[in-house]
Amino acid sequence: VQLQASGGGLVQAGGSLRLSCVVSGRLFSSYAVGWFRQAPGKEREFVAARGWNGISITYADSVKGRFAISRDNAKSTVYLQMNSLKPEDTAVYYCAAGVRPTDRASTYNYWGQGTLVTVSS
């Protein structure tokens, strides 16, 4: 299983971006997917996760109401819509796939390479 994230870039505070993550390999529809981020000098942190059936969806408190995770199983793609972006959202964003939609990075088996999001004030 390989993951390829894209969609990062430079945006002003208050703006929006949509990240995409294409998952290659079999049985994408059976995986839970998640997004994590890592800011310079900080540890990787959980952003959002979504179960294979779309019922289990969780968000970090810091992004609730601003970010939305979705998936298109037919395209083997997971998305992260980010609205009302803040400078503190600046980080490298990583997509991941695993068995369960948890907030713990250690539970995800497969990771993408990351895409940089920079939010200017």
Work out the percent of the chain whose per-residue pLDDT is above 70.
Answer: 100
- pLDDT given for residue 90 in this prediction: 98
How far apart, in whole angstroms, are the C-alpha atoms of residue 18 and residue 68? 9
Give me the mean pLDDT over the 35-63 stretch.
94
- pLDDT given for residue 57 in this prediction: 92
Question: For 20-39, what is each residue's pLDDT tens digit?
Answer: 999 998 777 788 999 999 99
Which residue in 107, 12, 2 sits closest to 58, CA to CA? 107
Question: For 59-74, what is each residue's pLDDT tens digit?
Answer: 999 999 999 999 998 8
Give me the mean pLDDT over the 77-101 stretch.
96
What b/e sequence results for 2-33 when a residue is b if at least 16 CB atoms lie within 10 Å of its CB, and e otherwise? ebebebbeebeeeeebebbbbbeeeebeebbb
- pLDDT given for residue 61 in this prediction: 98
What is the gyration radius of the CA atoms in the chain, in angstroms?
Answer: 13
